[in-house]
């Protein structure tokens, strides 16, 4: 998927504010409070001594325009093999293994027609993808009994309508997601452009933030964690 420069700019601003509020070095704030390490394809160890991360930080220190440097650096990392937890993909949906009995669902725009992926007209296409995923899982993952998700998307009616009520009813705010797309993804539209209203609200709240307490409240939407038995999905999608 595409990530416009605004996506990196927003996170740099956040990291600078975190650094100011906490006194931690900017590098620590970038490592702990942005999606950069993952976006650069470095995995999830968040190792400050990783050679590629050090290369990024060195360039940042020399750059007059930190956003431009970050965007250029990200471009050099695109197209490289990335560590992935994804097991299989069905259109906009994919899944990975969360633990022995539980699969984790992911969403990314892959609508072939370039239409709004969550629009009412695309609801049946999304439901077909979910049905295909569930049918596949039934054969390929016999040990799995549950499906879980964590995302800002569970706040949206257009996303929620794709899932059974029992799954949505378990929604709990998932804390500590400052490095992850379940939090940062809310600022992107399907073209990878930053959503102006969400970003403006975020920056306004960030400017008013006076401490590290409740930092996540700067984000307009909170990531929600949900989980339910696979049998609930089978019933919802009428999979015999
Ligand atoms: C998910 C994603 C494709 C949605 O993009 P989009 O261009 O808004 O797609 P849609 O137009 O189909 O949007 C769905 C609806 O949600 C609304 N919406 C999207 N983002 C929103 C936000 N941050 N706040 C409020 N509403 C939002 C849209 O307005 C739209 O509603 P509408 O149909 O009533 O107009 C895009 O945000 C994205 O690619 N994000 C990065 C990936 C990601 O976050 N994946 C989940 C990781 S856990």
For the chain, the structural domain boundaries read: 5-82+187-218, 86-173+224-236
Mean pLDDT over 23-46 rounds to: 97
Ligand 1 touching residue 188 (CB < 6 A): yes
Task: Pick from 98, 149, 188, 223 the residue to mutate for probing ligand 1's pocket: most ligand atoms within 8 Å of its CB.
Answer: 188
Spatial separation of the C-alpha atoms in residues 103 and 146, rounded to whole Å: 6
User: Residues for the chain: how many in total?
Assistant: 240
* In the predicted structure, residue 83 carries a pLDDT above the cut 80: no
Question: What whole-number distance in Å separates Cα of residue 68 and Cα of residue 129?
Answer: 37
* Total-model pTM: 0.95
190: CA distance to ligand 1 center in Å? 7
- Distance CA(99)–CA(140), nearest Å, equals 15
Whether residue 202 has pLDDT greater than 90: yes
Q: What is the mean pLDDT of the chain?
A: 96
Q: What is the mean predicted confidence (pLDDT) over 125-154?
A: 97
Compute the distance between CA of residue 180 and CA of residue 151 in angstroms, rounded to an integer: 9
Which atom of ligand 1 is nearest the CA belonging to 106?
A: 48
């Amino acid at each position: 998927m595409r990530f416009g420069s605004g996506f990196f700019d927003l996170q740099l601003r956040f990291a600078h504010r975190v650094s100011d509020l906490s006194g931690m070095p900017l590098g620590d704030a970038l490592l702990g409070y942005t999606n950069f390490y993952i976006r650069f394809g470095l995995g999830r160890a968040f190792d400050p001594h990783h050679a590629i991360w050090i290369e990024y930080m060195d360039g940042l220190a020399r750059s007059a325009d930190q956003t431009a440097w970050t965007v250029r650096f990200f471009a050099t990392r695109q197209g490289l093999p990335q560590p992935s937890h994804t097991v299989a993909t069905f259109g906009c949906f994919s899944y990975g293994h969360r633990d022995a009995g539980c699969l984790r669902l992911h969403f990314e725009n892959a609508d072939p027609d370039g239409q709004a992926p969550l629009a009412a007209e695309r609801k049946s296409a999304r439901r077909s993808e979910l049905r295909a995923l569930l049918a596949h899982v039934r054969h390929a993952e016999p040990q799995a009994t549950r499906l879980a998700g964590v995302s800002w998307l569970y706040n949206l009616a257009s996303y929620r309508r794709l899932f059974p009520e029992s799954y949505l009813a378990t929604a709990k705010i998932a804390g500590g997601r400052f490095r992850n797309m379940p939090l940062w993804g809310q600022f992107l539209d399907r073209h990878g452009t930053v959503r102006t209203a969400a970003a403006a609200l975020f920056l306004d709240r960030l400017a008013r933030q006076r401490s590290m307490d409740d930092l996540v409240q700067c984000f307009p939407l909170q990531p929600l964690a949900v989980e339910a038995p696979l049998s609930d999905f089978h019933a919802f999608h009428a999979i015999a």
